[in-house]
Amino acid sequence: MRTSSGSNRRRPTARLRAMPDDDAPRPSFPPGGRVPLIAHGPVYLRPGERRDIPVFLRWMNDSRTTRTLLMNNPIGEAMEERWFDQMLEHHGRDRWYFVICRMADDRPVGSIDLRDVDVRNGSATLGIVIGDPADTGHGYGSSAIRALVAFGFDQLRLERIQLEVFEYNASARRVYERLGFVHEGTRRHAFYRDGAHHDDRVMAILREDWAAQARD
């Protein structure tokens, strides 16, 4: 599935510490003592699996979700399988692609990736989709971005993470700004949708911006 398009002081696993009050409700995750490698708040990130394809198809064939994505045409199973195979070829090299899952019940709610990973210059481009509109506005997107940005800076040694966001995608722009992404420029009439050209914004966060947030 395509994903084109604050401060994070706690360690990702901090929420999983034992709770002092035995009667207090306990998070259902991690069953069996799993501690996910890439996580923040209510979500963790795992690699995409072939069994995810039906849910990817549901998300990417919903115009409520794709209206703010570059990818905006119907997708079939064979196309998605071909895309999945290509994604696997790149995963861990110049791309890191993950499914966003809820800690509470492992349910997938979206996907997120770093693509065009350039190890020489330390740069990459982030894309994210929360697949079902019913799952937006619960903090999953913000938490997934925090988790992936931390992974990019702390594990991949990136210097800069950028993204492109449609000018009319105001809610996404607010999320990115809140997380410390800076508006670097506007590409006028960069894409065509519904009979008109629209602008998009390039936004980015540097390693030093991220570190400054952690110090605040």
Ligand X SMILES: CC(C)(COP(=O)(O)OP(=O)(O)OC[C@H]1O[C@@H](n2cnc3c(N)ncnc32)[C@H](O)[C@@H]1OP(=O)(O)O)[C@@H](O)C(=O)NCCC(=O)NCCS
Under rule CB under 6 A, which residues in 2-21 are in contact with ligand X? 5
Binding-residue pattern over the window 106 to 145 for ligand X, x denoting contact by CB under 6 A: ----x-----------------xxx-----xxxxxxx---
Closest C-alpha among 35, 4, 38, 2 to residue 145: 38
Min separation Cβ 120 and ligand X, Å: 26
Min separation Cβ 106 and ligand X, Å: 17
Distance CA 15, CA 36 (A): 12
Binding-residue pattern over the window 140 to 169 for ligand X, x denoting contact by CB under 6 A: xxx----------------------x---x
Min separation Cβ 164 and ligand X, Å: 7
Count of residues binding ligand X (CB under 6 A)? Answer: 21
Rg (CA), the chain: 17
Q: What is the 3-state secondary structure (H, E, C) of 44-111?
A: EEEECCHHHHHHHHHHHCCHHHHCCCCCCCCCCHHHHHHHHHHHHHHECCCEEEEEEEECCCCCEEEE
Whether omega for the bond prior to residue 30 falls within 30 degrees of 0, making it cis, is yes
Min separation Cβ 204 and ligand X, Å: 13
By CB under 6 A, name the one of 103, 175, 205, 206 that touches ligand X. 175
Binding-residue pattern over the window 47 to 86 for ligand X, x denoting contact by CB under 6 A: ------------------x--xx-----------------
- Asked if 191 and 198 count as a contact pair (C-beta separation under 8 A), the reply is yes
End-to-end C-alpha distance for the chain, whole angstroms: 36
Give me the residues that bind ligand X (CB under 6 A), please: 5, 65, 68-69, 110, 128-130, 136-142, 165, 169, 171-172, 174-175
